[in-house]
Amino acid sequence: MTDWSLVYDRFDPDRQGLREALCATGNGYYVSRGAFCWVMADKTHYPATYLSGGYNRAPTEVAGRVIENEDLVNLPNWSALTFRVAEGDWFNIQAVEILSFRQTLDLFRGVLEVTVRFRDKANRESTLSTRRLVSMADMHLAGIELSLTAHNWSGPVQVRSALDGRVINAGVRRYRDLNSSHLTPLIAGTYQARDGGEALLQLLVETKQSRLRVAQAARTRVVSNPHAFEARTESVHEEGYVQQDLHCSVGHGETLVVEKLAALYTSRDTAISEPGIAAREAAAHAPAFGRLRQDHERVWRQLWDRCDIVLDGDSKTQMILRLHIFHLLQTLSPNTINLDVGVPARGWHGEAYRGHVFWDELFILPFLNYRLPAISRSCLRYRHMRLPKAREAAAEEGLKGAMFPWQSGSDGREESQKVHLNPRSGRWVPDNSCIQRHVSLAIAYNAWRHFQITGSEHFLELRGAELILEVTRFFASLAHLNGQTGRYEIHRVMGPDEYHEAYPETEEPGLNNNAYTNVLVAWLCSASMQVLACLDAPHRQELMEKLLLDERELALWDEMSRKMTICFHGEGIISQFEGYENLKEFDWDGYRKKYGDIQRLDRILEAEGDSSDRYKLSKQADVLMLFYLFSREELSDLMQRLGYEPLTEDQWQRNIDYYLARTSHGSTLSYMVHAAVMARSHPDKAWDLFQQALHSDIDDIQGGTTPEGIHLGAMAGTVDLVQRCFTGLDVRDGVLHFDPVFADRMGTLKLKLRYLGRWLHVVLKDEEMTVAAHSGWVRPVSICVRGESRDLPPGEAITFRLSKGAATEVGRSAAE
């Protein structure tokens, strides 16, 4: 294993699902799981391809009633490519003697390679090698190169290439009782290239409800073999499936090389006449695999130049960090910018959560804001385009403004299930997660942070301000004034901790005065005033007229920013919600002894006939999300504005310790958030939690969830943790602040940032920090390192010596 490669040196059928998710290749337009090209879906393998935002809705009868789910659709398998020698069996890795095996995901180049040396039943020794990519340079193209070397034999070889549309959604076991058929086959066959060359494959399908047409076309040819002139081709097609067989031969010690180039278009693509025509033309004119790979690797090299984070403490940490960046860029790339897609919680890598969009952009956009802000804007545009649906949802609740759904898909309606299956008990139980109204707060927070980091007035005028103000309006209508306390309250919501949906022994879902929600509402009401102040007079007037926003509403927001209710208990502990202190303490030791893995305590307790609502326990950070999103200075300012005493240093740490001791880490986001809030007070403990977060997917610590799709929020969150928490990165009042944290095992940290359109290079090493500004910009950048403010001119680098709580400038030089 190098720090640029994910390597497996033996075939393990029991771990193949995990590897297929981790070795997926994609380009922001679509993603294909890293299944071997010669396999079909079975108990071991699950080849699948998913289009960004490629959804379809299907009904199913569950527990006596019909429910409807919108799913990310498993598209036809373009990668099917296999072979057999003479008239023998088609290649099956589990039916041969494996002499050596190596699977390598090259993160720097974006190429998946598999090499197997094997002996078959006829004692023939061969080496099979495949290389696969989904082009980052041309988002519609993908390719596979297959090489077969005959070590001790010669003879005929039959190669079969196919496009297989007979697929269903079967990637998540607990969904298998639900309707999984989403595609209607339309066309399957071959066609001749215009130049009269070889026959190519074509397949056209349509999703059953959303009427999305998906076209694939493929060109397969023998490209390197002394006997290539002997190759002959024959084709077979049936409904939803087309195959092409190439008959050739290979000599003793020779290598047969076959390449397959595939094109994928859909009816929602722009600048095309029809997807089938576009796919056929693209496949016919696609470059050879070598050229396709060259262009693909060039784009990846450019992306890594912007996005790499060097952390040289140990090579495995570095590799996993790059793996996380890699999958983030495969999900959201420059190819995503012109697409109408959100940020899926599980990437486009599998069917878990049905490809839906939750609040994970809160953990993902910070990395993109500082490097590829156009992608961040496209994700925020996805939300803005669904403002009408969010307004409609709020109005249905008798409220104003925009209420975004907890789970979003194609059109922005609420996609959350009404019931969900507890796999431990086998029961379908009510799902009230849709009352997590804080998802709207995350959207507004992201919009404001994007403006702060990029300085894009155009974004604020076009989309950002409207998003922020409409979310503020929603929470202002959701809140009510308590006449006795003189403070505003919000009832019947859930915070990020999904273990608490309601008060014990009550039928009505929701909790009162969730601290995370209320503090963010106070912050939002204040931020909305800043938003209006940042708009020039004409745009401000136009927006207020469009939204029918008057001074009375603004006065209410200002009052709410000073009078939201925050509950406390004990010695300065922020209560997760009103009445939290009345819940029972949980027997952590007893349940660990009884069950071992207790990450999903909600399922364990439900199976016992109990409920997590009754106990002081959390699935993930809730109160501590405030410590994650805001610096201590920002949170102190918020508390003071609300009329509460800011937390002392002792109270700050006591809150962290209190909730960390009561958290099961049932979400992959949990370790990452807790590592971030621990970074300043206990950097080595934070490093341990960071390592657990880092290994969440690569080690599948939740016991089988990663094969169903990566956890994109946790992956991106670990990268942001390094970027933001270990550097102490923060933007306040137009100044880029740094307050670095050193963990003993961190080593040297190097990264690039784009702030207000200007590129900076940051290096942390040996208690020193160097910040360099790339040349080519006119204005200096305002930075502050542990209270030392400087204007950093273009082309210069400033080095600071760091001591406890302070920084001293020790030198200036030309930026490299």
Extract the annotated binding site: 359-360, 619-620
Distance between the two ends of the chain, CA-based, in angstroms?
A: 30
With 0-12 CB in 10 A as exposed, 13-18 as middle and 19+ as buried, what is 343?
A: buried
d(CA 492, CA 514): 9
Cα dihedral 277, 281, 282, 288, rounded to 10, equals 160
Of the candidates 733, 716, 640, 635, the one whose C-alpha atom is nearest the C-alpha of residue 672 is 716
d(CA 245, CA 583): 67
d(CA 546, CA 531): 16
What residues contact 301, with CB distance under 8 A and at least 6 apart?
Answer: 108, 109
d(CA 414, CA 758): 39
- Phi, psi of 575, rounded to the nearest 5 degrees: -75, 130
In the block, tokens 């008990």 appear at: 425
- CA distances (Å), origin 626, targets 656, 676, 726: 11, 11, 18
Q: How many residues does the chain have?
A: 816
Strands 781-785 and 735-738: parallel
For residues 416 and 405, is the Cβ–Cβ distance under 8 A? Answer: yes
For residues 178 and 62, is the Cβ–Cβ distance under 8 A? Answer: yes
Of the candidates 774, 748, 775, 772, the one whose C-alpha atom is nearest the C-alpha of residue 762 is 772
- Phi, psi of 656, rounded to the nearest 5 degrees: -60, -50
With 0-12 CB in 10 A as exposed, 13-18 as middle and 19+ as buried, what is 475?
A: buried
Q: Looking at 293-418, which runs of residues are DSSP E strands?
A: 309-311
Widest CA span of the chain, in angstroms?
Answer: 91
DSSP, res 575: P
Asked if 498 is an active-site residue, the reply is: yes
DSSP, res 286: P
**In 3-state terms, what secondary structure has residue 208?**
coil
Cα dihedral 178, 181, 182, 184, rounded to 10, equals -160
Strands 568-569 and 573-574: antiparallel
For residues 30 and 719, is the Cβ–Cβ distance under 8 A? Answer: no
Task: Indicate the annotated binding residues for substrate.
Answer: 359-360, 619-620
Return the ∠ at Cα 429 (arms to 426 and 435), rounded to 5°.
Answer: 145
d(CA 788, CA 807): 6
DSSP, res 805: T
Return the ∠ at Cα 643 (arms to 642 and 644), rounded to 5°.
Answer: 95
For residues 205 and 180, is the Cβ–Cβ distance under 8 A? Answer: no
Catalytic annotation, pick one of 415, 498, 553, 796:
498
810 half-sphere exposure, CB direction, 13 A CA radius: 12
**In 3-state terms, what secondary structure has residue 350?**
coil
Alpha-carbon radius of gyration of the chain = 28
- Active-site residue set: 498
